[in-house]
Amino acid sequence: MSLNTIWFILFIVIITGYLILDGFDMGVGILHMFVAKNDNERRININTIGPIWDGNEVWLVLGGGALFAAFPIVYASLFSGFYPAMMLVLMVLILRPVAIEFRSKQESGRWRTVWDMMFFLTSLLLALLLGVALGNIISGVPLNEEGNIVINNIFDLLKPFDLLLGLTTVAMMAMHGALYINLKTEGELQARVRGFMPKLMGAFAVTAVLSAIFMLVAQFEPVAIYAQIWPLIFPLVAAICFGLIPFFLKRGQEFLAFVASSGMILFLMLSVAVGMFPNLLISNMNQQYNLTITNAASQANTLTVMLIIAVIGMPFVLLYTAGVYYIFRGKVVLEADSY
């Protein structure tokens, strides 16, 4: 296996880790104004992610660093071509933790409602933007022979399929977040979020099926490999994981239901990765302009040094993540220093 392929796999693993971990953070925020009906419940809802949200976002930093080091041409194309969208994502990433941290600084109901709404809106917008970005990557971008993405304004990125995949991502994150809230709460809040579960699963199933049909009908480049049989294992396992969620919920196995949701996200991302490989950015102007793991990669010595650093550093990230989740396991109990 080449260094380029190894780094492609590592990048997919890191981004998938981010979507699974920060994904339920987004879901908690998306559901914040709907499942939590009073100040106490909203505090509990925020404190389900209180000790871990900042660690979850580290995976996005790792993903950006990996892309910059391993595939700098792709990094440059994305950040220059999608500059307005990237600035919007950055603003959302800043305002979201500000809302979490500022909410409890005053006891005023109006103050807390403002930051509750900010937490909801930024979580919703972040999930939507990530889905739209993925939609553009799958459907292709106006990438020219110089590796530049040629767009007039941010609305050029909002094509029907991209918006549909954005809505699919919102539904998926909301469902994933609901399963996490169910895992971490009890009483009326837990019962209320369980009531939302069938609607969220239905919304995700409908939007996901519509997205798949759209990709097949439009014959996007990543779909071509699915003319073979073996790649179908990835979306099939994702569908099985989705089907296991209500099975585990019915048996009261909250943790396994959340694991099934995480597995679904993993195999959906693998489905996309298998379709994209060896491309990183697809040009809808000319396939010869595609940025691949070969023509967009750093030199071999750079990839080697970065791989050594990754092999040394990643276990510490995994240990830290596992340690934090172990320490703060169990149901949320509000304390004096809680949000």
| Residue appearing with tokens 């500059």 | 83
CA distance 221 to 284: 9
Any domain includes 333: no
Domain CATH for 204: 1.20.1630.10
The pLDDT of residue 335: 76
Q: What is the pLDDT of residues 226-260, one digit of tens each?
A: 989 899 999 999 999 999 999 999 999 999 999 99
Residues spanned by the domain of 280: 3-327
Give the range among 129-143, 145-159, 274-288 with minimum mean pLDDT.
Answer: 145-159
Any domain includes 335: no
Q: What is the pLDDT of residues 77-121, one digit of tens each?
A: 988 888 888 899 999 999 999 999 898 888 888 999 999 999 999
Structural domain count of the chain? 1
CA distance 75 to 26: 24
Q: What percent of the chain has pLDDT over 70?
A: 100
Mean pLDDT of 287-296: 91
| 284 has pLDDT over 90 | no
Can you name the residues that pair with 283 across neighbouring β-strands? Answer: 141
158 — pLDDT class (breaks 50, 70, 90): confident
| Residue appearing with tokens 């005053």 | 106
Which stretches of the chain are DSSP H helices?
3-35, 39-47, 53-70, 72-81, 83-102, 109-139, 160-184, 187-218, 233-250, 254-276, 300-327
- Burial state string for 259-288 with b = 16 or more CB within 10 A and e = fewer than 16: bbbbbbbbbbbbbbbbbbbebbbbbbeeee
Any domain includes 120: yes
Q: What is the pLDDT of residues 316-331, one digit of tens each?
A: 888 988 888 888 888 8
CA distance 169 to 130: 8
pTM score, two decimals?
A: 0.93
Any domain includes 334: no
**Three-class secondary structure of residue 24 per DSSP:** helix
Q: What is the pLDDT of residues 9-56, one digit of tens each?
A: 999 999 999 999 999 999 999 999 999 989 899 999 999 998 888 888
The pLDDT of residue 245: 96
The pLDDT of residue 285: 87
The pLDDT of residue 51: 86
291 — pLDDT class (breaks 50, 70, 90): very high
| 337 has pLDDT over 80 | no
Any domain includes 339: no
| 338 has pLDDT over 80 | no
| Residue appearing with tokens 């073996």 | 230
